[in-house]
Structure 1
């Protein structure tokens, strides 16, 4: 049986997670219209889920930064859909 998600995520190297997120953000920004917006919205959903797993143990400043980044990514995705 596989380990729970938080345990699997704890084994991921931080650099690998950063590079993967960066690649997804850049893909979402450079892909046209709805495709790019879909990539960004999937990323927002995944990051929101991972943030919810660690929400209770994060300092308030980190929580604010995470919410701001997620809101910015979601706003960019909506702008890509509308425009």
Structure 2
């Protein structure tokens, strides 16, 4: 008997990459355009989601991709803290 729940990585693999990129881009734009703490909060939630996704995919990513992902997360966190302050 096969399990009906294949896990988060299997569900993530079925997501359209273009749709995921556009959704993340929309969240970044909303976060940057929203005023003060609201925009910063949106960016912090996005950064948390990116960290969770990176933790799931860390073992299968090459080192160059890991560095780029860490840089993107650092930029999103910097923008969030600048919006909050």
TM over 0.5: yes
**Please, which runs of 5 or more residues in structure 2 have no aligned partner?**
none
**What CA deviation, in whole Å up to 9, does each residue of 1:42-79 have, x standing for no partner?**
00000110011110111111000000100010011000
| TM-score of the aligned structures, taking structure 2 as reference length | 0.92
Shift of 1:3: 3.8
**What CA deviation, in whole Å up to 9, does each residue of 1:14-43 have, x standing for no partner?**
011001000000000000000000100000
Question: How many aligned residue pairs are there?
Answer: 82
1:23 and 2:26 equivalent? yes
Q: Give structure 1 regions of 4+ aligned residues with deviation exceeding 4 angstroms.
A: none
Cα RMSD of the aligned pairs, angstroms, is 1.0
| TM-score of the aligned structures, taking structure 1 as reference length | 0.94
**Please, which runs of 5 or more residues in structure 1 have no aligned partner?**
none
